[in-house]
């Protein structure tokens, strides 16, 4: 802005200069020395004024040209700024339109989401109602089935009661026959001796009221596998029973018999081997088998049976066995114990080389820390680790 002002001031000075230049004429120039000189002086003065005017005109033209160039440059800059402002306004307008389009799109998407949410809620309500309806129908169906089962159970219980009554009547009718058998076998007055319906060589000594001991036998099957008779019988009888095997049969082999209960299996063995005399002594919990092929009149010593179950660990089982025979077990391996992998019945004494404890110790030989029993006096045994290094 300062440059145009300076140029304007110079232009004003240049224009004013010729006007004042023609005014200053001294008196000396007007003296009548010579008319020619006066004319010459006026001509020179006119020439000087003309030259001054020309210089002023040139200066004015130069300044006007510069002003025109300056104005042109300013106009170009103004036009460029106007064009830039115009483009920016157009861009702002386009951006505003785009923002409005985005707003409309967002509003449309929001409306679509709200619509989908409403549809999902409506579908959920329908499915929930259908589930409740199905649940009620299922519950009604289950209740109806339960009522039918209850009615069937009541009917079966009534039938069972009728059958039990009939069996009691039948048992009452056969009571005289049982008493006759009792007298025949010279049994005590409080014991009834009865025979199996399948094997006459199988008899049972039972207390009065337990006459059905051999009447409810379940079917059994025989397979080709051979087993030691005495070991097999010891493995199937209850643990609180004592088995008296026939003399001279320690290595006797019989076919494996399978059945639902041990009494049925023993009865089947009696059928297959009629030369054996089998007696169930219920009051004493003795199972006595004798052979008709010739045996000593002496009753054999009972062989003790030991039951191991998966519900107890090896250590607990050994301590229970020791307590039954008044032995004390000292554990030098406090942190070593093993689970019982399968139910089984062992036979023999607690102590000794072939005793139950040594049998259990042998079962640990393939473990990480094998165990062994160290026998001491006064019914004391120590359980120690076999070897000092881990297998």
The pLDDT value recorded for residue 140 is 86
The pLDDT value recorded for residue 300 is 47
DSSP string, 225-244: EEEEHHHHHHHHS-TT-EEE
The pLDDT value recorded for residue 389 is 42
The pLDDT value recorded for residue 390 is 43
What Cα–Cα distance (Å) separates residue 216 from each residue in 145, 240, 286? 33, 22, 20
The pLDDT value recorded for residue 30 is 52
pLDDT digits (tens, 9 = 90+) for 49-99: 999 998 988 888 899 888 999 999 999 999 999 999 999 999 999 999 999
Nearest to 187 by CA among 171, 203, 165, 168: 203
The pLDDT value recorded for residue 87 is 92
Ranges of residues in the chain with a pLDDT under 50 are 17-24, 175-176, 178-180, 182-192, 208, 295-301, 388-391
**Cα–chain-centroid distance for residue 364?**
34
First to last CA, the chain: 106
Return the H-helix or E-strand segment holding 220. strand 220-228
The pLDDT value recorded for residue 179 is 44
The pLDDT value recorded for residue 190 is 39
Q: pTM (2 decimals)?
A: 0.30
The pLDDT value recorded for residue 16 is 52
What Cα–Cα distance (Å) separates residue 177 from each residue in 170, 193, 211, 216, 271? 12, 11, 12, 18, 23
Nearest to 251 by CA among 277, 225, 229, 270: 229
* CA–CA separation, 189 and 71 (whole Å): 151
Backbone φ and ψ of 247, nearest 5°: -65, 145
Sheet with strand 286-291: strands edge to edge: 191-195, 202-207, 276-281, 286-291, 242-244
Residue 297 burial (C-beta neighbours within 10 Å; 0-12, 13-18, 19+): exposed
The pLDDT value recorded for residue 101 is 92
What CATH architecture applies to the domain 305-385?
Answer: 3-Layer(bab) Sandwich (3.55)
Nearest to 217 by CA among 270, 256, 165, 157: 270
Percent helix / strand / coil, the chain, rounded to 5: 55, 20, 30
Residue carrying the six token digits 């059928």 = 271
- List of long-range contacts for 205-208, beta carbons under 8 Å, 24+ apart: 205/279, 205/280, 205/281, 205/282, 205/283, 206/280, 206/282, 206/283, 207/282, 207/283
Nearest to 179 by CA among 169, 170, 189: 189
**Other beta carbons less than 10 A from residue 211's beta carbon:** 16
* CA–CA separation, 388 and 391 (whole Å): 9
The pLDDT value recorded for residue 209 is 52
The pLDDT value recorded for residue 183 is 40
């Amino acid at each position: 802005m300062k440059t145009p002002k300076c140029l304007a001031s110079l232009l004003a000075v240049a224009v004013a200069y010729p006007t004042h230049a023609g005014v200053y004429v001294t008196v000396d120039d007007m003296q009548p020395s010579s008319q020619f000189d006066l004319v010459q002086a006026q001509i020179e003065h006119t020439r000087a004024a003309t030259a001054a005017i020309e210089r002023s005109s040139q200066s004015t033209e130069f300044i006007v040209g510069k002003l025109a160039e300056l104005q042109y440059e300013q106009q170009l800059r103004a036009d460029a700024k106007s064009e830039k402002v115009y483009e920016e306004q157009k861009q702002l307008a386009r951006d505003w339109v785009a923002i409005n389009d985005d707003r409309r799109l967002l509003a449309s998407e929001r409306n679509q989401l709200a619509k989908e949410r409403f549809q999902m809620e409506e579908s959920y309500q329908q499915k929930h109602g259908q589930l409740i309806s199905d649940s009620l129908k299922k519950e009604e169906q289950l209740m109806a089935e339960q009522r039918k089962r209850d009615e069937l159970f009541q009917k079966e219980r009534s039938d069972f009661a009728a059958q039990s009554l009939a069996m009691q009547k039948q048992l009452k009718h056969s009571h005289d026959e049982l008493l006759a058998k009792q007298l025949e076998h010279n049994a005590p007055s409080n014991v009834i001796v009865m025979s199996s319906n399948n094997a006459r060589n199988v008899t049972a000594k039972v207390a009065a009221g337990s006459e059905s001991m051999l009447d409810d036998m379940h079917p059994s099957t025989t397979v080709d596998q051979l087993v030691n008779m005495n070991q097999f019988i010891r493995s199937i009888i209850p643990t609180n029973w004592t088995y008296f095997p026939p003399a001279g049969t320690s290595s006797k082999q019989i076919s494996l018999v399978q059945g639902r209960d041990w009494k049925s299996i023993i009865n089947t063995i009696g059928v297959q081997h009629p030369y054996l005399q089998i007696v169930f002594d219920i009051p004493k919990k003795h199972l006595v088998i004798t052979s008709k092929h010739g045996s000593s009149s002496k009753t054999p010593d009972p062989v003790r049976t030991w039951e191991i179950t998966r519900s107890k660990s090896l250590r607990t089982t050994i301590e229970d066995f020791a307590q039954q025979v008044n032995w004390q077990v000292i554990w030098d391996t406090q942190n070593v114990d093993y689970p019982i992998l399968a139910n089984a019945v062992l036979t023999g004494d607690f102590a000794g080389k072939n005793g139950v404890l040594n049998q259990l110790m042998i079962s640990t030989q393939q473990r990480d820390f094998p165990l062994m029993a160290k026998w001491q006096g006064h019914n004391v045994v120590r359980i120690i680790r076999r070897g000092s290094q881990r297998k």
